[in-house]
Amino acid sequence: MAEEAARRAVAAVPLLRTAAGPRDRERWAERLKEEYRALIQYVEHNKASDNDWFRLESNAEGTRCVGGRGLSQGG
């Protein structure tokens, strides 16, 4: 049963298609957009499943995580 729930959660998150890292300036912005879309969908799925357990924040450029913690830590 838990395996099926995990499969449904993974299926709800879009696949990342851009193979790029921070040193690849030309394609890095597209990769970040894909990652944000995936995270947003994951969070939305968790909220819909009453399984909302973490928060993420980034700097103004969206290039560095500046916060983020589990809700059990007072988030």
Rounded to the nearest 5 degrees, what angle is found at the Cα of 32, between the Cα atoms of 50 and 62?
85
Ramachandran angles phi, psi of 64, nearest 5°: -150, 140
In whole angstroms, what is the distance from residue 72 CA to residue 75 CA? 7
**Which amino acid would we find at residue 75?**
G
Helix (H) or strand (E) run with residue 34 in it: helix 25-48
Residues 15-68 pLDDT 10s: 999 999 999 989 999 999 999 899 888 888 888 888 877 777 777 877 777 665
The answer to whether residues 29 and 36 touch, using CB atoms and an 8 Å cutoff, is no
pLDDT for residue 16? 92
pLDDT for residue 70? 53
